Chain A
């Protein structure tokens, strides 16, 4: 009897720990990201103030994260960079999910030639390597945050469109949809009320994973010089600027790189946890 109780305690502790790692830690990191993004906007920081006396100063007591090659404070730039990456991620995700859901949902619901046409367009988009297409688009439209969002959204919506379409295809044969037809509900009402809300769960999970992808894509484009323009700060641009001094002042690359990895890691964990949480079937077993 004693032994089983002991086992139970272990199990309970293990379960709590797993939940902490899988659920609370990602939220904490994302909370920090959000806080940094807000601070980067609200605080009067000097991310672009050049102080030549402090060039390549490592992290220390008077500057938490040190200074970069032009003597700009890394902490300030990191906060402003968080703001940039957050804006880009949220912007791209909301535009892509919204467009993808509407277009994919309609394709699946209407079917016929609309579906056929849309699917071929999606196939064409998917045939290009996504990041390459974004580079090309950013190159054509010129650098800048707004163009970055547009370029990444153009690449991003196809995944959500496909996901929504497949969901709708299986859902539209469901009996509650047939019942709505039988009651004489209009087509748009059926799509908005009976189909799209039920596709939300996989979309939310997919969008969470998408955030991680976008953060990296933004950094890559900025690293290539197609995203945020100097002197404006972004994590990708910081890595790019710091790359030349990797051996002399590794903190220029490590600090923004670490920030980005943490965000991507947290978002991916959260996506996993969300998928389990929103899955009705798993909840039943619990």
Chain B
């Protein structure tokens, strides 16, 4: 290969108080070549974004670069450049896009003007006539009708469009390197697929290199040529993407891959990484991963591991890893690794001591459960549920229309089973969940819980029934009162149910915390003292306190890292087996659905377009939307996968398209689709779809 475009040597960055700094980036070395996609992979708090900001020299006020050298293209060391010249590099030869396109755009400027600003700054010849270039750029990032769009403001565009605008701005200076910091994390899967494809196409056209920062292993597998795994401020492994996903070297990378939920792991527990990323304030004299590693040997805790070089340019910072030249050793490690998995799951079980069943028990139990046909006693039945929000306008607050957030939703939930409600953001799945719990009163339709109609009950009559239906939210911190002690938070349901004896309440809270794997001293601490995963456990304990038979889980793991997500999913699964709880699992994460759900319902614009058993939906999707949604999910093993690219965005639920809501985006639509909403087509006793053209 030719000379690297970007060569970073020994880059070290510190944050915070100079007397007790956090070494967030610790002697990082990496090279990026022209035209390649290089991914920086790792969990939150591992220093990925700080590395990118150090390269751009855009660190927060409390951050500083201690040492290192960033050789870029023919410019030389970026760290030695005066600020004035650095400004020419930023947005010129090196551009950056961020996770949240909403906050990265100026809301009071038209997007055309914002792009023109970038063009005028970096393209000397265009200073006078930037408009033409703006239109060209908008066209390049695939924005339809660019002339009109250029005159619009950010709030008039959807999230995916805004990210395209950000990319257009980044392209204005014809960059040689584009740094993309979690560019698709805030977007839906179908939009994510569009944006990733766009980046790929642009890269081919312009020959720029991309430094992709992400925690999403699927995205990395689909886009990256080479990657580096970061852990606690250090790179622990670099490899080609292919090599990493077939033979990950560092135990951390292996664990991450094992922690990913998918259909093939249904019968087993997910691997978890116990503990947390160590504090970066300390000086390390050992392997940073040693406390969480289950194949660690004595040297790991006494010596800093050296780089070990393998074939295919794989480098791993680990004592026990041997490159594949030394086969027998590797196999012994692999065996070690296998036993490690067992170790680790028993450790996780130990955390939740109430479930002293071992792995085998779980499997048997679960096996019989999946064999069970859904029993006849329906736990929860929603029929034609509608939630319409009125849109007011004018002085008299006339109602000029309705946002049909949920528009005729019907579903059945059986005891002890998990129904996943899947769809993109804005399709009404969260509203549906709240309407089922009567936290939002539905406009029409019925919800029957264990035979009891809920929609007609008054707020006071509903209160004793509340304990049967619980909810867990996406953001565990926002769902706890920050001024209450954890013990009081968990006890709240008990008080609401009239358990007034202080000591029995305390005993029960301790038991609940134990059940979700939280130490008992948590009772006198505040929520902010806990990590994201622990907070979610506390939220689960609070819901469990009132002994519910149904829990609505509203994206409970999407704010968490992969390894923590695995812990929460394992916990939810254990609880279901032991307490026979039903879950209505609201998510956009298909791999979690594949691992956890028994049945799946796919929502599009307030209605369920397809529902059935999990294998029916995931293996034989019939609705064109389901097919597109499933194909858009980035996966590690993408052999023989055919991607169906959806055009455009989700239409507004205030003004849904005529006929079948999906027809404007549907690749298989015919003229008839725009006339009438399709009837339900029953494919099997469990599988039904709202599309006339669904083939049997």
In the complex the two chains form, what is the Cα distance from A250 to B546 in whole Å?
72
Contacts of A197 in B (CB 8 A): 481, 483
**A185 and B478: CB pair below 8 A?**
no
Is B497 among interface residues, defined by CB-CB distance under 8 A?
Answer: yes
**B479 and A179: CB pair below 8 A?**
yes
Nearest B residue to A8 via CB reads B18
Comparing A14-22, A134-142, A170-178, A218-226, the segment that makes contact with chain B is A170-178
Question: How many residues does chain B have at the interface if contact means C-beta atoms less than 8 Å apart?
Answer: 31
SS of A interface (majority)? helix
**A184 and B479: CB pair below 8 A?**
no
Is A262 among interface residues, defined by CB-CB distance under 8 A?
Answer: no
**A186 and B496: CB pair below 8 A?**
yes
Is A182 among interface residues, defined by CB-CB distance under 8 A?
Answer: yes
Is B300 among interface residues, defined by CB-CB distance under 8 A?
Answer: no
Per-position 1/0 for A142-154, Cβ under 8 A of B: 0000000000000
Chain B residues 17-73 with CB under 8 Å of chain A are 18, 62
**A184 and B493: CB pair below 8 A?**
yes
Q: A175-B473, A175-B475 are in contact. Are A181 and B439 (CB under 8 A)?
A: yes
Nearest A residue to B475 via CB reads A175
Q: Pick the contact of A182 from B464, B470, B475, B484 — CB < 8 Å? A: B470
In the assembled complex, how far is the CB of residue A235 from the closest CB belonging to chain B, in whole angstroms?
38
**A184 and B437: CB pair below 8 A?**
no
Is B661 among interface residues, defined by CB-CB distance under 8 A?
Answer: no
**A184 and B496: CB pair below 8 A?**
yes
In the complex the two chains form, what is the Cα distance from A197 to B546 in whole Å?
25
Contacts of B495 in A (CB 8 A): 185, 189
Is A198 among interface residues, defined by CB-CB distance under 8 A?
Answer: yes
Is B89 among interface residues, defined by CB-CB distance under 8 A?
Answer: no
Contacts of A189 in B (CB 8 A): 495-496
**B473 and A179: CB pair below 8 A?**
yes
Q: Pick the contact of B480 from A176, A183, A184 — CB < 8 Å? A: A176
In the assembled complex, how far is the CB of residue A172 from the closest CB belonging to chain B, in whole angstroms?
12
Is B515 among interface residues, defined by CB-CB distance under 8 A?
Answer: no
Is B471 among interface residues, defined by CB-CB distance under 8 A?
Answer: yes
**B478 and A175: CB pair below 8 A?**
yes
Q: A175-B475, A176-B479 are in contact. Are A183 and B439 (CB under 8 A)?
A: no
Q: A179-B473, A183-B466, A183-B470 are in contact. Are A174 and B478 (CB under 8 A)?
A: yes
**B483 and A183: CB pair below 8 A?**
no
Is B467 among interface residues, defined by CB-CB distance under 8 A?
Answer: yes
Is A275 among interface residues, defined by CB-CB distance under 8 A?
Answer: no
Q: A182-B469, A183-B493, A185-B492 are in contact. Are A175 and B546 (CB under 8 A)?
A: no
**A184 and B542: CB pair below 8 A?**
no
In the complex the two chains form, what is the Cα distance from A15 to B481 in whole Å?
33
In the assembled complex, how far is the CB of residue A277 from the closest CB belonging to chain B, in whole angstroms?
16
Chain A residues 190-210 with CB under 8 Å of chain B are 193-194, 197-198
**B478 and A183: CB pair below 8 A?**
no
In the assembled complex, how far is the CB of residue A123 from the closest CB belonging to chain B, in whole angstroms?
16
Nearest B residue to A195 via CB reads B481
Known: A182-B469, A183-B470. 12 other contacts (CB 8 A): A178-B473, A179-B471, A179-B539, A183-B492, A184-B464, A184-B467, A184-B497, A193-B481, A194-B481, A197-B481, A198-B482, A285-B62
Could you give 7 example pairs across A and B, Cβ below 8 Å?
Answer: A175-B473, A176-B479, A176-B481, A184-B546, A189-B495, A194-B481, A197-B483
